[in-house]
Amino acid sequence: MFVRSIRSYTSDKTVPPHFCDVAIDGSNVFLIRRDPGSDHCRVIAWEDVKDQVERAIRQSRAFS
């Protein structure tokens, strides 16, 4: 499994803040967000994120 940090490149900070990790396991891709001050983390499939963002973009265009 390959894991890489996702950072906010639009930040003014010298080191862009960490947002989440992306984990790639073969053809499966997940975003992993660790809860601050806890050992818990939240995991969501990239396809779920992508589908919801694409749907939101389509809906926003309908209201423009």
Task: Taking residues 52-64, report their average pLDDT.
Answer: 93
| Rounded percentage of the chain residues whose pLDDT exceeds 70 | 100
Neighbours of 30 (CB within 10 A): 19
Structure tokens at 57: 């973009």
**At 57, which amino acid appears?**
I
Is the predicted pLDDT of residue 10 greater than 80, yes or no?
Answer: yes
pLDDT at position 44, please? 98
Instruction: Supply the DSSP string of 12-30, one letter for each residue.
Output: -SSSPPEEEEEEEETTEEE
The C-alpha angle 50, 3, 10, rounded to 5 degrees, equals: 60
User: What is the pLDDT confidence band of residue 9, given thresholds at 50, 70 and 90?
Assistant: very high
- pLDDT tens digits along 17-31: 999 999 999 999 999
Q: pTM of the prediction?
A: 0.82
